[in-house]
A and B are shown apart, each in its own frame.
Chain A
Amino acid sequence: GAGVSQSPSNKVTEKGKDVELRCDPISGHTALYWYRQSLGQGLEFLIYFQGNSAPDKSGLPSDRFSAERTGGSVSTLTIQRTQQEDSAVYLCASSLGRLPLHFGNGTRLTVT
């Protein structure tokens, strides 16, 4: 596709369940980023991948959060034992160089 694709667009889950969020970056983009946007908050950095380098995980809020990027393309963000405070829009972005970051439309996660 022409842009960053994220799925699902909406996810409702019960507290304590695990969820997986998927991101398909723009073809050929070497860098991939995950951000989180909570109601009334700006975007919060979670993690980024650059080529074959070790990912920068410094923004992950707890060890319940993890992400992987397979084959330098698709990425999955996994949240284990979801909590209500995890409810947010999870945004993925990719870039060829350092800028610009091209964002997807996000996955809206609701934990009930």
Chain B
Amino acid sequence: QKEVEQDPGPLSVPEGAIVSLNCTYSNSAFQYFMWYRQYSRKGPELLMYTYSSGNKEDGRFTAQVDKSSKYISLFIRDSQPSDSATYLCAMRYAGGTSYGKLTFGQGTILTVHP
């Protein structure tokens, strides 16, 4: 079993829809949680990151972390065709020298239709 599980999709929604992307994980030592967006043939770019449980909002994006359930989510409101990309969740342990090691989910391919 992978440490981080993410449904690869693909997910197809109409413009304006609310999108929900999710990851589950097995290692309770993960403390930092991130969402990356990756366009085709480009490197991933960081969208949001959160520490421990809770919600974080940035414009149309909301990240949620539920450590008790080992479950994280990214919500995209009023989705746009420009949101079409692969979304990767990532997480890492806190402290020590391991901060360079991010553990990624497989990525969910999202397409937003005009």
A7 at the interface (CB under 8 A from B): no
Closest residue of chain A to B98, judged by CB?
Answer: A56
Cα of A45 to Cα of B49 in the assembled complex, Å: 18
Residue from A45, A53, A106 within 8 A of B101 (CB atoms): A45
Establish whether residues B43 and A42, one from each chain, have CB atoms under 8 Å apart when the complex forms.
no
Given contacts A42-B104, A43-B88, contact A100 B6 (CB under 8 A): no
Contacts of A2 in B (CB 8 A): none
Whether A99 contacts B43 by the Cβ 8 Å rule is no
Partner of B100, one of A56, A91, A104: A56
Kindly state whether residue A65 has any CB partner on chain B within 8 Å: no
Q: Are B97 and A41 in contact (CB under 8 A)?
A: no
Chain A residues lying within 8 Å of B106, measured Cβ to Cβ, are 40-42
> Which of B's residues lie within 8 Å of A, judged by CB?
4, 6, 8, 32, 34, 41-46, 49, 88, 90, 97-107
